[in-house]
Structure 1
Amino acid sequence: MKNTYTKLAIGLLFSAGLMQSCSILQTVGLRKKETVIAAKDSTGKKDSTAAYDKLLKDAQVDSGMFTVIRKENNYYFEIPLKKMGQDILLIQKLSSVPLALNEAGVNKGMNYENKVIRFTHRKERKEVWVSEIKPQVEVPKGDAIAASVYDNYRPSYIESFKVESYSKDSSAVVIKVNKVFDGSEKSFTDVFTSLGLGTSPKTNISTIEDIKSYSNNIVVKSVLSTKVTEGNESVPVSLEITSNLYELPETPMVARFADPRVGFFTSPRWYFNDKQQELDKKNLVNRWRLEPKDQDKERYLKGELVEPKKPIVFYLDPATPKQWRQAIIDGVHDWQVAFEAAGFKNAILAKQQPDSVKFDPDDANVSSIVYAASAQANAMGPSVVDPRSGEILEADVIWWHNVMTILNSWMRIQTGIVDTSVRANVFSDEKMAHAIRFVSSHEIGHTLGLMHNMGASASFPVDSLRSKSFTAKMGGTAPSIMDYARFNYVAQPEDGVEQITPVIGAYDKYAIGWAYRWYGKTQPWDEIPLLRKEIDSHVHDPIYHYGEQQDSKNIVDPRAQSEDLGDDAMKAGEYGMLNLRRMMPNIINWTTNVGDDYYRAGKLYMGVVGQWYAYADHVLNNIGGIYLENAVLGDQKDAYSPVPKDKQVRALEYLKKNVFYMPEWLFVPELMAKTFPLRDSPIGPFEYAPYNLQREFQYAMLYKLVNDERLLRMVEMENLFGSKKAWSAPEFLTSVRQTIFAKTISGQALDLKTRMLQQNYVDVLMVSTNKSMEKLNAKKLAGIEQLVEATRPALCLHPQHASSSPVELRNVHVTGMMRTSDMLTYKRAELYEIYQLLKQKQRTGDAITKSHYMDLLLRIANTLELN
């Protein structure tokens, strides 16, 4: 059964996307009022009144947005006719999960499906129909094109209910709603499909637990059960889910149009009108509705700080361990200074949950920080958004208990040499709380609408991160806490740097000020000149640069990478490796006490290897890199420019020195006699023998070094900018070959590591020239990528925040002509050059060297079909 749980967990990781999720799940579409058909003159009024009286007898009644009537196990909504046609956001959340889903990182508080619905009274059928709305399109009512818009973006019906009775004054209809919440129908919630399980609820063991009515929301608690089959085994799965029927504001918030130079999550909006010659497509900034109180508006516009009419409030899960509560709350309050840049004081608060019986953290009026008891090591900050305006209605930070294991690993590996307090398996509560506060601030940033700004860290000069005065003044490791700039691994022991943890920085204050400043306008177009002026005043200061997140397997702009520091990856990597080298002799002392085994030592060892790989990866992505800017006319910026040629050359020199031959200090015999590097897996620890580990890391790095996209980008940049500014692919490949085969050229006998290096390099070249090898190589690389990910734990993986969909990742498309481009010619030419060299040198060196050359010659000849 444990194996079935494991399979289910792994399947959910890839099928549901929720393990990657920190997402704002939302539905978009056209707003169009539907006809409300009155029932006051119904011919069956007397019979209906009797039915209504009978229904209410001995029933429990809860008044609110709709009156909820419970009679035995049946639930009814009494819906006022005036509510027909109003926009209601159906929000679906998980409230409790079993072990099998917990293992996959699917936990309480996750929002898995939202949709905008409307109820419509169909008098002639004695029914109420429910339609799903996609409120993405807007058009002036008086324009001629409005009729066409309504016809071409109509809502779709998803459910119908029989009218059980009318209220006594015939101003409301009563419908029985069990079927859409107890698993009988999937029209309102299809949780098992949303989670990637592909099953249906078993209705005999699924039920409605409770329904509560609030002034603008209905909260439905259900338990849905199913069975998931894996091979010959089946796993029962029961979920408690919470469905919110949230009444959207009748007057949506004034939208704010997004600008790609400031990183916010967005909602799409299309504007039609008679005067235009092109459809106006906009993206709306996802943000909370912050407005000054009526009596404070003049003071606000004069520049005084005022309190907002409705502040942002987060409630802390009472399940949160007491020693971490204040740190999490402080991480929320750290954003106060950013909102002051928008003109608001006391704009964001965090509180303990009240003991009130009426208080429900699953109510969509409540934003919570949910503490999940789970082995997952992560945290995320999803939000619920009104798709008509981009207004964030509520947000929930999901805080996995085991996130502290990542923090422990990062701090020990990255700063253990300069901070003696982070060398043990267990930190002091004060030290861990300090790190928890940073994670809290980062996740709250997502709930405020901020995307990752992976380009922020590149604005700090590397050597400045070694300056005690600079780091004390600027704070943190980057000008944005929304970067994945972790802890300061650049600082050396003699530097005396004390500020080594990420904090809210200058970019964060600027971005919040840009998105949240209130201008008192009624139309988003009126704000455009003011918003652009704000950006123009900061556009040439690198501190305020926004660098979009990219696909980690295909980095285009090396300034916007995850977990890098400073403006020069080569220099930062050298400093980082100095600290790693100092750390290596201490791994056992930092992890092991008398009587302990070496499991923790092996884990930390693998973490050090992974950090070394991270430095190399940051460097490698400078080769063939393109600096990307969201340039506009008048800002004197280029949208595309190659990484300077000399910087690319320096990057390759770093790789020649530190990657082609992995550092000897990473493989200390005294340490490896006690433990190999190891990683956890669903079936137990994997121990990696050093030669095998070197081969896999080296292969992965060489494959990335000469991958198709990189070479194609080099071709593009040389074609546009010339060989003086851009490094040509042939020149680059020649330099790589001359280094890897230097000992061959000089006629030396080859040692094991050189033979491995040459075998790996020839193999990665052959893959691109032999289509039959691609599938096999993809499988091999997948295993290596899994290893790399295990050594470099990530935090806050968000599909819509950050990296769920390739569409949302910044990229430059260069893949369309791979098999007929010069890139393929270059790789075949390199293989042929190597073949000619090996033929010339095949009788040099010792016996094993000659056998090695014969093997490579046969492989290349077979690939190029030379025989």
Structure 2
Amino acid sequence: MGVRFLCIPLLVLALYSVAREDTASKDISAFTQDMQHQGGFYDFYYQLEQDKIYLKINEFDQAFLFQSSMPQGIGSNDIGLDRGQLGETRLVKFERYGNKVLLKQLNTAYRASSSNLAEQASIDEAFADSVIVGLPVVATEGGAVLVDYTAFLLSDIHNIGAQLASTNQGSFSPDPMRSGVYLPRSKAFVDNTELEALVTFGGSKAGEYVRQVTPDSSSISVHLHHSLIRLPDDQYQTRQFTPFSGYWSVAYQDYSAPLGESMTVSMIPRHRLHKKDPTAALSEAVEPIIYYLDPGIPEPVMSALKEGALWWDQAFSAIGYKNAFQVKVLPEGADPMDVRYNVIQWVHRATRGWSYGSSVIDPRTGEILKGHVTLGSLRVRQDYLIALGLTSPFSEDASKDKNVNTQVQKDMALARIRQLSAHEVGHTLGIAHNFSASEYGRESVMDYPHPQVSIKNGRISLDDAYAIGMGAWDNYVIAYGYQDFPAEVDEYSALTALVKQAREKGYRYQSDPDARPSHAANPSGNLWDNGADAVAELARINEIRELALSNFGLKSLKAGSSLASLEETLVPIYLLHRYQLDAVAKLVAGVEYEYELKGDYSTPKGAVPVGLDQQKAAIKALIETIDPTYLAIPNSVVQLITPKAYGESRNRESFKGRSGLTFDPISAGESAASYTLGLLLKAERLNRLAQQAEQQRGLPDVHSVLSQIFAASIQGRASSELAQRINFVVLDAVVKASLQSNLAPEVRADVELQLTNLYGWLKNNKRNPHNKIMAKQLEQYWQSGEWQSLFSVLPLPPGSPI
């Protein structure tokens, strides 16, 4: 029996081998006789009967770009697989090995700029490349081969299965029987070949987000796209990266760099742009940068997106270009995934989510070949919702709502969309975030703007919520990246002068690594904030929040809407302060610094702790936001919010609660208080508090911060259920802060000491019966070594993006 089982596979393998040899020996012309043919960069043939696609390869060892993308996505922000999403841009080449052709991704991270061919070869041989796929040869003709590309086109090139698994959405893999070549968007052009397929992923144990957006959660059908792109010519000139340039970096290690020189070569990513006349003060571009709008965008959003994107032409005009940046509607029949088109796509999801600006970039040089903007369609609706919650423009009498004009609120939402369009296009020009720009005005569309509303005549005004046009930082960045210098001008010196001028003008710059982490140290650089004084801006936001909450109610709701839906309108108003809290928290144990190079200043600025007065004011302001009076929701609002009407349900935009179907204002306060404490008690922040207090006398330390927190909560007078809840939140937060893995041992000891002091106070102050319970919790914690919390703090509804 064993012999028979061995022989069958061997026989099948032998027959398969013969069949493959017979097939590969056929001429391409004979093999493809009845197939549909498209000629271009790489010719391809389509066989309808078997739904197969074949690629003709004339030259081997010819490098080109391979770009994968996702023209049709899943539709869930939480999963993160959206329509128009670009995958990795890879430098690749085809190599033949007998009866197969390998598509090899070349390693561009390690190079040798030396003209010594042996030295270049030594680098190539030292670092591995990656073979992406092996393609079977089915026919030959002269030096050309025809390969079966079908299985690769129907494969998971976009790593969808891994992404679904990482977001706990189930186990999925491609099902070839439910997948097929999508011929309408498979085309060949002179410089690029575009191939597309409908790929179905079959699976099980689908998660909540998959179930939310698919008609059958065991079957997820998307479109995947492959672009094979001819390398651009060698006329593009790279431009050096410097940390203060405002650009992302494309870098590699040059192993032929002279001893004593850095091996890291960094370039900025940018489009190719040159003046027709570099010596002219104003000149048209040899080839303008043109972005194409998704024709499916509705009005008035279409006009708003076009206007916002066109702001960049202001910056190009400032450096002497005429009509160098243009925005048009994508021509009928054009494919947005075609590498020849820079596009702005309008993407629908089940929930609001992030927008993106990504690019196809030549990894050798940093040249941007295609910009691809993805804008989430629900963002504009969220801004409109915020505007309604801030202003409560309707009437308490539903019959009068038909006469209410909400154009002001719609205008605010459209103003945000203009800014968002400019922001994401900026990324596709190679530009990074600048989260410090809001400190010296609103000087960059590359910041995350919070609506700058105000109080006028006792009412909330939306008149100046969002800035219009380019900021000073944007103009500087475009000058650094796209200024076309005449031949007689030394580019390095000119760029160095631009950076120096920007610093002298007071421009500040902090990007993602120094702004996004909740434990970040630099108070310069925050998301969704305004103003140079974070504490003063929080106070201003608090006034607006208080006024908005006092007006909140039936006037916040359009006639015909369920009273239950008031909750989702309330969320961003109740939490209006949440982003400014992040900015204030960074002042506590904060460290001021820049992206500074040696020689930028005659005396280095270095890293300097935030001053005593600023830190004290920040701690006080943060602790005030856990006060029960601050977190209380007016009873008039609580009584209006009913359980969800039949046909409606709670969603991710709702508060989490503990009272079943009814709205839970106490848990809303719990979540908000926990958010403040989480910012203040981050391990890295506590560690810096201890270090700074030792280095500079008078600065706050861990003891002073915890003492103020306890005094404002547990050791205060708990006169309400909300106050009692906040006390439990505080105890839970401080104990868990002491257990953070990154907390320094001496700082953990300081926190434990404060908990010991609190325990003594709880034992001696029995006025509040909950004090006995808290003391017992601490006793059990010290006895067992494990913290037994009485509850798990409920998280806030999602905030970003707005």
TM-score band, normalised by the shorter chain? Answer: 0.7 to 0.9
Aligned to 1:622: 587
Partner residue, 1:54: 30
> Match for residue 828 of structure 1?
752
Contact 1:92 1:113 in 2 (8 A): yes
After TM superposition, list the pairs within 5 Å mapping 1:422-571 onto structure 2: 432-460=413-441, 478-490=442-454, 492-493=456-457, 498-503=463-468, 504-519=470-485, 527-548=491-512, 550-571=515-536
CA distance in structure 1 between the partners assigned to 2:80 and 2:776 by the alignment: 48
**Displacement after TM superposition at 1:442 (Å):** 1.6
Q: Name the CA distance, whole Å, in 2 between partners of 1:155 and 1:148.
A: 14
Q: Give distance in 2, aligned partners of 1:680 and 1:514.
A: 49
Partner of 2:7: none
Equivalent residue, structure 2, for 1:404: 380
Contact in 2 for aligned 1:256/1:285 (Cα 8 Å): yes
- 2:795 aligned partner: none
Q: Aligned partners of 1:341, 1:543: CA distance in 2, in Å?
A: 18
Report the CA distance between 1:80 and its aligned residue. 2.7
Residue among 53, 56, 60 paired with 1:75: 53
> 1-side partners of 2:331 and 2:423: how far apart?
25
Contact 1:415 1:487 in 2 (8 A): no
1:136 aligns with 2:109: yes
Residues 416, 422 of structure 1: 8 Å contact kept: no
Distance in structure 2 (CA, Å) of the matches to 1:767 and 1:760: 11
- Counterpart selection for 2:762 from 838, 842, 845: 838
Give the aligned partner of residue 692 of structure 1.
Answer: 667
| Contact 1:272-1:279 at 8 Å conserved across structures | no
**Compared with structure 1, are the counterparts of its residues 434 and 511 closer, same or farther at alpha carbon in structure 2 (3 Å cutoff)?**
same
- 1-side partners of 2:493 and 2:564: how far apart? 59
**Conservation of the 8 A alpha-carbon contact between 2:305 and 2:417:** yes
Give, in angstroms, the shift of residue 518 of structure 1: 2.7
Q: Is the 8 A contact 1:603 1:677 kept in 2?
A: no
SS of corresponding position for 2:95: strand
The 3 A distance-change label for structure 1 pair 695 and 190 is closer
Distance 2:427 2:388 in 1: 26
Q: Does the aligned pair in 2 maintain the 1:59–1:69 contact within 8 Å?
A: yes
Identify the residue that residue 216 of structure 1 maps to in structure 2.
191
Query: Aligned equivalents of 1:321 and 1:151: distance in 2?
Result: 53
Residue in structure 2 matched with residue 681 of structure 1 by the alignment: 651
Aligned residue in 2 for 1:354? 331
Q: Which residue of 1 aligns with 2:151?
A: 179
Give the conservation status (yes or no) of the 8 Å contact 1:103–1:375.
Answer: no
Q: Which residue of structure 2 lines up, in the alignment, with residue 270 of structure 1?
A: 253
Alignment of 1:65 onto 2:45: no
Mapped contact 2:293–2:345 kept (Cα < 8 A): yes
Structure 1 residue runs without a partner (length 5+): 1-46, 461-477, 775-814
Matches within 5 A, 1:733-812: 733-740=706-713, 743=716, 752-769=721-738, 771=739
Asked whether the 8 Å contact 1:91–1:113 carries over to 2, the reply is: yes
Partner Cα separation in structure 1 for residue 88 and residue 163 of structure 2: 7
Deviations 1:363-411 (A, max 9, x none): 1111212222333324222222111111111122112222222221343
| Mapped pair 1:392 → 2:368 | yes
In structure 2, distance between residues paired with 1:447 and 1:831: 51
CA 1:329–1:364 in structure 2 vs 1: closer, same or farther (change >3 Å)?
same
Distance 1:347 1:716, change over 3 A: farther
Relative distance call for 1:852 and 1:435 in structure 2 (3 A) is closer
The answer (yes or no) to whether the contact 1:222–1:241 under 8 Å persists in 2 is: yes
Q: How far did 1:488 drift?
A: 0.8
SS in 1 for 2:286: coil
Match of 2:620 in 1: 653
Shift of 1:680: 4.7
Distance in 2 (CA, whole Å) between partners of 1:854 and 1:61 is 82
Q: What is the distance in 2 between the residues matched to 1:229 and 1:732?
A: 49
8 Å Cα contact 2:274/2:285 also seen in 1: yes
Q: 1:544–1:708: structure 2 CA closer, same or farther, 3 Å change rule?
A: closer
Q: Which letter does structure 2 place at the counterpart of 1:502?
A: A
Match of 1:320?
297
Aligned partners of 2:35 and 2:47 also within 8 Å: yes
State the distance in 1 between where 2:403 and 2:242 align: 41
Give the distance between the partners of 2:363 and 2:704, measured in 1 at CA.
51
> Does residue 229 of structure 2 align to residue 246 of structure 1?
yes
1:536-568, Cα deviation, whole Å (9 max, x unpaired) = 122143334345453343232223111111011
Q: After superposition, give the CA deviation of every residue in 1:686-737 in whole Å (9 maximum; x if it has no partner).
A: 56412222223223322432332211011233344x124x433333333444
AA aligned to 1:598 is: L
* Bigger relative CO (Cα 8 Å, ≥ 6 apart): 1
**Partner Cα separation in structure 2 for residue 61 and residue 306 of structure 1:** 43
Residues 251 and 199 from structure 1, CA distance in 2 versus in 1: closer, same or farther, beyond 3 angstroms? farther
Structure 2 match to 1:236: 219
Amino acid of the residue matched to residue 349 of structure 1?
Q
Identity %: 19
Instruction: Letter of the 1:681 partner, please give it.
Output: N
Aligned residues between the structures: 724
CA contact (8 A) 2:103 2:132 kept: yes
CA 1:863 to 1:630, structure 2 compared with 1: closer, same or farther past 3 Å? same
**Secondary structure of 1:244's aligned partner:** strand
Q: CA RMSD in A?
A: 3.5
Q: For 1:335, what is the secondary structure of its paired residue?
A: helix
Q: Report the alpha carbon displacement of residue 507 of structure 1 after superposing the two structures with TM.
A: 0.6
Q: Which residue of 2 aligns with 1:856?
A: 774
- Normalising by structure 2, we get a TM-score of 0.82
Identify which range, 694-703 or 192-201, moves more after superposition.
192-201
Structure 2 vs 1, CA of residues 583 and 421 (structure 1 numbering), >3 Å: closer, same or farther?
farther
**Which structure 2 segments of 5+ residues have no match?**
1-22, 208-215, 394-400, 658-662, 786-802
Change (3 A) 1:497 1:77: closer
Bigger mean CA offset, 562-571 vs 272-281 = 272-281
Q: Does the 8 Å contact 1:624/1:710 carry over to 2?
A: yes
Maintained 8 Å contact 1:676/1:689: no
Is contact 1:269–1:282 with CA below 8 Å preserved after alignment? yes
SS state at 2:321 partner? coil
| Alpha-carbon separation, structure 2, partners of 1:610 and 1:497 | 18
State the one-letter code of the partner of 1:590: K
Q: In the alignment, is the contact (CA less than 8 A) between 1:254 and 1:522 conserved in 2?
A: no
Secondary structure of 1:663's aligned partner: helix
Give the structure 1 partner of residue 64 of structure 2.
88
Instruction: Output the amino acid matched with 1:854.
Output: K
Match of 2:800 in 1: none
554-563 vs 249-258, which moves further: 249-258
What is the SS of the residue equivalent to 1:511?
helix
